[in-house]
């Protein structure tokens, strides 16, 4: 990795499902490539929705990516690619809590780090390492989608099970798309808590 005069940084793009986060990652990486910068894109290996070795937006934009099992593997791969100037990470919420530290290390070494992910889970609560990434980033862009119910700006991801809102106690990480998630605003988002017996 370059240790020259270049100043590294962390950029975070967040928001609910269907707000264009991955499209924005693809746009930023494409611009970096046009500027002749060496780029490397990563995704978590559990994200198999479209293609194991590509990040893909819901609008079918794609970009080559390296699947990894954890944040440490990102650092190891980049150590073997010292010319990399831009490191992009898709779906950061799937990663372990070591991701913010890895991103800090990369930025300290002069890399531009672009991270995108869901800032809240289906419950409407902070998701994985995203809150820390938002806190340490130099630049944050929070995108919104369109609420499927009322048409207002959506900031939440609604999980559905057999067409009905998931319960609060359901598993937090379930990789999926339109078949189990909708974008909703705060007022149309529902997360049923199961009653305690």
User: pTM score, two decimals?
Assistant: 0.88
Domain ranges of the chain: 9-144
91 classed as catalytic: yes
Least confident of 24-28, 102-106, 122-126, 179-183: 179-183
- Beta-carbon contacts of 119 under 8 Å, excluding residues fewer than 6 positions away, are 14, 15, 93, 126, 127, 130, 131, 134, 142
4-13, 127-136, 173-182: least confident range: 173-182
pLDDT at 45 over 60: yes
- State the pLDDT confidence band at 191, using cuts at 50, 70 and 90: confident
Interstrand relation of 39-44 and 86-89 (parallel, antiparallel or unpaired):
parallel
Quick one: 9-144 is in which CATH superfamily? Answer: P-loop containing nucleotide triphosphate hydrolases (3.40.50.300)
* pLDDT higher than 90, residue 175: no
Q: What percent of the chain has pLDDT over 90?
A: 71
State the pLDDT at residue 163.
84
Six-digit token pair at 187? Answer: 């007022």
CA distance linking residue 119 with residue 135, whole number of Å = 12
List the beta bridge partners of residue 11.
Answer: 114, 139
From the candidates 11, 23, 24, 91, which is the catalytic residue?
91
- What pLDDT, on the 0 to 100 scale, is given for residue 55? 79
């Amino acid at each position: 990795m370059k240790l020259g005069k270049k100043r590294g940084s962390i950029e975070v793009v967040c928001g609910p499902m269907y707000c264009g986060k991955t499209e924005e990652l693809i746009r930023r990486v494409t611009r970096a490539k046009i500027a002749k910068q060496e780029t490397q894109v990563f995704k978590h290996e559990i994200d198999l929705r479209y293609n194991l070795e590509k990040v893909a937006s819901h609008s079918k934009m794609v970009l080559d990516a390296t699947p990894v099992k954890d944040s440490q593997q990102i650092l190891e791969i980049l150590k073997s690619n010292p010319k990399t100037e831009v490191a992009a990470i898709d779906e950061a919420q799937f990663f372990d809590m070591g991701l913010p530290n890895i991103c800090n290390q990369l930025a300290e070494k002069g890399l531009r780090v672009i991270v995108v992910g869901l800032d809240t889970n289906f419950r409407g609560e902070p998701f994985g390492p995203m809150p820390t990434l938002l806190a340490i980033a130099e630049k944050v862009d929070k995108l919104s989608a369109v609420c499927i119910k009322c048409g207002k700006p959506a900031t939440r991801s609604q999980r559905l099970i057999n067409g009905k809102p998931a319960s609060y106690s359901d598993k937090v990480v379930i990789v999926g798309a339109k078949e189990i998630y909708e974008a909703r605003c705060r007022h149309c988002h529902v997360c049923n808590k199961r009653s305690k017996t």
